[in-house]
Structure 1
């Protein structure tokens, strides 16, 4: 049935592609340097008839009259009107940047950086480019051609991708959606499976590397990813999208928008259904994405915007890795091999899968107090529920004797179930459990911007967040047995013979209260822009443990730990002339360590770690930019010192086999420095070339010592970490990219992208470093992607056919590796990157 659907789907593509269009107004929307603006809005004045520009800034629009006016608008630019007529129906409209409009249109407490004004290294990706290049890739992968970025799929599960920026993992890269931070408040992580629907509703995404321009009380280290969704900029109408791809990939979505109505109300709703088998064996996925924006312009001075975004999903995961030799010996050859799945009663079963739902709700209020003063406030809430499957027991799930054949074949779950049944009153030897991680999160950000004079702007605000995370293990499936013997003898208030629903091993609540204030002065005079900002915040951590205390059903409550953080940053941009500009920035800040593994002696403990320290960061950067009609380029040189970084040491618990104890080790320093170059060259009206080079040098700068205690506060082990001079691992320190975009026909674009990643050191727990040797250096790799978009009409409906072929030469490469301590290729456990994949998509606008 699925193959039949795919055949019909592909047939529809080629049949409808032959339909001829009607006579329409055409044109190009460009910026001040004549670079195209994809995703700009073009609307016939006095009507709701409008469209958006494509990847090359082109648009085609049918007018209902022989003459009139179109209104052209785009986030961060001043709107402009252009006259059209039957004799003047090919328009070129140039928009001018408007720094002030960003704060108002974006309606958030975070700001986009402005070219040739904001002194930070920045890359901006518009909606049309995301739509054209994403295909079956995940959202972070669209950034892989951005300087300093390393993105991989890790285990290959849907939404399990990760991103590193200038060598910093996602825990230290701020991700914000409409001004609302989404990094986990306990550990800083970002789980992209929770935001799978962003690609359908993003107006623009901007990566600010290093210092960044976002105005929040707690700064990031590696950079900031700002994602702005559609609001009143959405046009009346909607679209239907259908996509198909390799390994059963299917996606169906619809977006509807009223546009901005006469009563000042605008509503945009989007929903998508996505499913597939996964490129890697046994990594099937299924999800529903949704988005709703209701905006109301009350009057010229007041505007409200209500947003709901979420993704309810389930997907198989791969956690257990194999060596290169073991992977190559498999029937699948390594790229698709997954040891973590099998069959039960003839159906696919995973020993690890993720299920989660994390809707984010926000209400934005904009108040234009006067022509000089503007206030924007966002109140938000997030309610997350779900977790991941884990296994407990004797180890049969990873024992190759329990496979349906050789070591590379699926797991025989039926045999495990039968053996549990045969055990009778002795109970199950192996069961499924869940690691549940629920949370309630509330926050408010409020920013006031006022013009103190024609040249001086003050921006100040408040940032408050409160978070409760609930974490526990529970039995979910006895796999045919009568009970499971509790492996943790310290769980005195829980059943010894565990049944489905019983909790064990972990049951605690983490609490985070963070509040602070920030202020910024910005001075602009002719070609000079200067800013100085500062922030101060307090982070209060607390925890309750519900294990080990049967006399206290409300749990054992920790003392609160407070960490006062502060920061200051400044920078200047100077436009030497209309083509050349230079900038510099500098910052220093002190931020609270993460709760998980840092503030408390181990993951379940309520005993505070008295030696937990704030992390300190000092960063400086200089940059140069060149802008002309055909060629744009940027060069940045950065140096970031990360002082007193908190790391977590893990050792086996001598009292509980298979369990680990964790402790924080403070005082580890790292230096991240490098050079970045990116450019765009418009060779002619049809051919454009873009590229980048990123050269990093990221090393540890100190040794550290520490102690690990058990839950009774008894010293288990002293740890000495010899890290000074070692390379920071787990991300490519050298990356190149080159892209070609060719306009083959008036509405047909072809693009070819090349990416290189090198100087990647395999991941290794730095707390285990005793020999002062670098980890195994992974082989560099080269990837080439190809894609196209073709626009046409079906009657009055604008239609786009798109296709994407990733890794077109099916290159075998290692994207993630885990060093075993021998620092050799033979000892490393690896994940292979994804081979050749494809997707076809059809979008019909109405």
Structure 2
């Protein structure tokens, strides 16, 4: 009994000592103007015990000792050490903007811009803002309140969202994940469904408008979106996420991180399952997102980091647009009606359906060679496979309203189509499912060396090399009850083809792209002045192996080489501790995209004398930042010469008609303003205005063909001069209010306006040359079949979004409840449009944006 009492006493002593030896530290991390820094890392020095700040810059941490030192860090700021004790445990920590040691490597490797130093127009969105406001929106939509940005859900399918920046489509906006470019090597496109898991692991996302600061050999035109994922900065522990929303939206996921361990390793893994029915009818989706980072801090000078990210997904699509009148004649209305789905054996079936998996793997090495020199090298690979379902056939039953389960706005009766194909027997199917299959292998290396030549001058340079093979073919996937399908689209040499499931037809080729280049940048920074001069030189080679060509001599194309270059310079001057001014100017010549090099997808013929695209851009900016108010004003002027553009419109039979336009000149100019006002600690007011004026400057030539058959429909001169650049709102406004109801509870209201948005038009139909300012009368137009005066100006619209964030504890675990309602007034608006029949504005083909949607999310940290 005595021994038991002694043991009990010792145990009680140890527990008491442990409890008394712990200190709960709370505080707030801010910048030099007292603005909170969400996502800042706070670690007890010499341990792996740490946390990160919430969206208000606040943190709470249990230290195992009564006193010690905290190490606080955030990308773009100098790390800071601050002492804590049992009597000094509620801290306000102010970080100073700068870049040092490893932070400088991260910034250079990912091309992040630094405020008050990098002379570009920039907006940075922290992880907490993404978490608080994304909800069921597409990932690009989180940027919709950013100056110059226009983002929509497009047809409404999962991951089908798109983004324009200063009037430039995503094909001309560079998207980089951890410093690695992800735009398609052939056409520059970004498919956001491939990156659906980014929202769970992003630590910061930065939008650089205009020339930007990206260190790659081939620069972007509209701007750059840099996405930085978590690695060694991730907090030890885990996060469980659960989301639900409108129309069956469900998302479950978990993120686990070791933090930086004593052996120098840090591992972060994230996975999420997502599914739903979609806001638009017939757009069911399902996906699995994953992310893995394994980092090793080898020593003070070397760090390795391996990343794997991807999304396995499939989703229905709304491919065919309808006119406003046709949408309004439906029971569901324009926001929900989808003509491209129906039922087969009682199950949902889509005529347009996307399935894809594009994992990206990368290995990054950071090497601090000396106090003044470091090298960062990223080797990466991407392997994509999947495609999109399309329809094929002569009966046009998929777009024939007689083949619907009731009225014209009802789902397609696929059972009837199957029965009729089966009844045709040996005569074959009239309408089938095919798929446009696409796969690729992409390898690249991006390496940057930076050295300080003097205390004020630094030099950086590097290599950007990429090799890509993309395979593209049409394949029969479902005969829909038929025995075969007879394809006579390309029968000059074959007499037609009797196709069965798995057979390839019409298109089957490999596109080969090799791009390699070098870049260099000289920077001068002393006191309040920063100046840079950069240049690059690159070569892009295109070639094609066509497996549908007949005869081996026709299978391989000639190689097309395009030498590109760029030069840009800029300066930032801090007038005082609160004000800055900057300017940048640049000119570059880059290789055209694939569609401007080859005549079409059929055969190996090159277009005659394809031209490099040239861009001249200039920008002026002013910034002000104080403890209660900050604002930025930017003026930009971008001239785009010899632009090549490809756009597609569906004809009356549902066939895709593509026009490749070359030699266009465009002028994009405008002004952007954004501000943040914090009159009291609990209230934050934000706003922005973006006023653009984007027009085509001259005429061009175009080649229009049928996507399915390769048949050339027309070619010649198009008179585009004076037309408005379409596909994005040229005038946007945003206004936001966030109020902190409690210490960890806030409510936000955001307003967005979009105006001066012009429908995409088939410029090949504009066959009359007009003098400057000349306008045709209505009687003139009646005499000119197929002529349109200008692109249709879509109605302006206003949207309001509401958000609530509430922090609390569940069983001692830090938890956050997030609620979002987008388009709270259920506004009906048109987000995307094609002109349709060029002689009648009422036939414009449109997509309506989503109506009222909602989501509820719970995050639990452990």
Q: State the Cα distance separating 1:764 from its structure 2 match.
A: 1.2
Q: Secondary structure at the match of 2:110?
A: coil
Label 1:650 to 1:818 Cα distance change in 2 as closer, same or farther (>3 A).
closer
- CA–CA separation in structure 2 for the residues paired with 1:802 and 1:358: 30
Q: Secondary structure at the match of 2:320?
A: coil
- CA–CA separation in structure 1 for the residues paired with 2:263 and 2:286: 39
Label 1:710 to 1:318 Cα distance change in 2 as closer, same or farther (>3 A).
closer
Label 1:112 to 1:811 Cα distance change in 2 as closer, same or farther (>3 A).
same
Matches of residues 733-812 of structure 1 in structure 2 within 5 Å? 733-770=730-767, 771=787, 773-812=789-828
- CA–CA separation in structure 1 for the residues paired with 2:79 and 2:466: 35
Q: State the Cα distance separating 1:772 from its structure 2 match.
A: 6.6
Q: State the Cα distance separating 1:48 from its structure 2 match.
A: 2.9
Q: Deviations over 1:380-417 (max 9, x none)?
A: 00000000000111210111101000001001100111
Q: Deviations over 1:430-489 (max 9, x none)?
A: 111010010000000110000000000000000000000000001001111100001323
Partner of 1:19: none
Question: Given that residues 494 and 504 in structure 1 are in contact (C-alpha distance below 8 angstroms), is that contact kept between their aligned partners in structure 2?
Answer: no
Partner of 1:579: 578
Q: TM-score, normalised by structure 1?
A: 0.94
Partner of 1:428: 429
- CA–CA separation in structure 2 for the residues paired with 1:685 and 1:525: 34
Partner of 2:538: 537
Q: Secondary structure at the match of 2:128?
A: helix
Matches of residues 208-287 of structure 1 in structure 2 within 5 Å? 208-287=208-287
Q: Deviations over 1:632-656 (max 9, x none)?
A: 1000000000000013488999xxx
Tell which deviates more after alignment, 58-67 or 357-366.
58-67
Label 1:244 to 1:709 Cα distance change in 2 as closer, same or farther (>3 A).
closer
Q: TM-score, normalised by structure 2?
A: 0.92
Label 1:709 to 1:471 Cα distance change in 2 as closer, same or farther (>3 A).
closer
Partner of 1:18: none
- CA–CA separation in structure 1 for the residues paired with 2:832 and 2:705: 31
- CA–CA separation in structure 2 for the residues paired with 1:663 and 1:682: 50
Matches of residues 304-703 of structure 1 in structure 2 within 5 Å? 304-393=304-393, 394-490=395-491, 492=493, 496-549=497-550, 551-552=551-552, 556-595=555-594, 597-648=595-646, 664-703=660-699
- CA–CA separation in structure 2 for the residues paired with 1:241 and 1:717: 53
Partner of 1:820: 836
Label 1:374 to 1:148 Cα distance change in 2 as closer, same or farther (>3 A).
same
- CA–CA separation in structure 1 for the residues paired with 2:627 and 2:437: 54
Q: Secondary structure at the match of 2:439?
A: strand
Q: Secondary structure at the match of 2:315?
A: strand
5+ residue gaps, structure 2, are 1-21, 768-786
Question: Given that residues 38 and 126 in structure 2 are in contact (C-alpha distance below 8 angstroms), is that contact kept between their aligned partners in structure 1?
Answer: yes
Question: Given that residues 76 and 107 in structure 2 are in contact (C-alpha distance below 8 angstroms), is that contact kept between their aligned partners in structure 1?
Answer: no
Q: Secondary structure at the match of 1:291?
A: strand
Q: Secondary structure at the match of 1:425?
A: helix
- CA–CA separation in structure 1 for the residues paired with 2:492 and 2:796: 48
Q: State the Cα distance separating 1:706 from its structure 2 match.
A: 5.1
Partner of 2:777: none
Task: Check if 1:128 corresponds to 2:106.
Answer: no
Question: Given that residues 264 and 296 in structure 2 are in contact (C-alpha distance below 8 angstroms), is that contact kept between their aligned partners in structure 1?
Answer: yes
Question: Given that residues 320 and 650 in structure 2 are in contact (C-alpha distance below 8 angstroms), is that contact kept between their aligned partners in structure 1?
Answer: no
Partner of 2:184: 184
Partner of 1:3: none
Question: Given that residues 107 and 365 in structure 1 are in contact (C-alpha distance below 8 angstroms), is that contact kept between their aligned partners in structure 2?
Answer: no
Aligned length: 819
Partner of 2:16: none
Partner of 1:725: 722
Question: Given that residues 381 and 443 in structure 1 are in contact (C-alpha distance below 8 angstroms), is that contact kept between their aligned partners in structure 2?
Answer: yes
Task: Check if 1:171 corresponds to 2:167.
Answer: no
Q: State the Cα distance separating 1:715 from its structure 2 match.
A: 8.5
Task: Check if 1:842 corresponds to 2:858.
Answer: yes
Q: Secondary structure at the match of 2:213?
A: coil
Partner of 2:27: 27
Q: State the Cα distance separating 1:100 from its structure 2 match.
A: 3.8
Q: Deviations over 1:562-601 (max 9, x none)?
A: 0000000000000111111100000000000001x21011
Q: State the Cα distance separating 1:724 from its structure 2 match.
A: 0.9
Question: Given that residues 722 and 772 in structure 1 are in contact (C-alpha distance below 8 angstroms), is that contact kept between their aligned partners in structure 2?
Answer: no
Q: Secondary structure at the match of 1:313?
A: strand
Q: Secondary structure at the match of 1:99?
A: coil
- CA–CA separation in structure 2 for the residues paired with 1:112 and 1:220: 15
Question: Given that residues 787 and 802 in structure 1 are in contact (C-alpha distance below 8 angstroms), is that contact kept between their aligned partners in structure 2?
Answer: yes
Q: Secondary structure at the match of 1:415?
A: helix
Q: Deviations over 1:98-146 (max 9, x none)?
A: 2345764527633211111100000000111111110111110000000
Q: Secondary structure at the match of 1:418?
A: helix
Q: State the Cα distance separating 1:703 from its structure 2 match.
A: 1.0
Q: State the Cα distance separating 1:797 from its structure 2 match.
A: 1.3
5+ residue gaps, structure 1, are 1-21
Q: Secondary structure at the match of 2:402?
A: helix
Partner of 1:51: 51
Label 1:491 to 1:292 Cα distance change in 2 as closer, same or farther (>3 A).
farther
Question: Given that residues 519 and 533 in structure 1 are in contact (C-alpha distance below 8 angstroms), is that contact kept between their aligned partners in structure 2?
Answer: yes
- CA–CA separation in structure 1 for the residues paired with 2:42 and 2:266: 17
- CA–CA separation in structure 2 for the residues paired with 1:738 and 1:709: 44
Q: Secondary structure at the match of 1:283?
A: coil
Q: Secondary structure at the match of 1:199?
A: helix
Please, what is the CA RMSD of the aligned residues? 2.2
Question: Given that residues 729 and 761 in structure 1 are in contact (C-alpha distance below 8 angstroms), is that contact kept between their aligned partners in structure 2?
Answer: yes
Q: State the Cα distance separating 1:88 from its structure 2 match.
A: 2.6
Question: Given that residues 109 and 216 in structure 1 are in contact (C-alpha distance below 8 angstroms), is that contact kept between their aligned partners in structure 2?
Answer: no
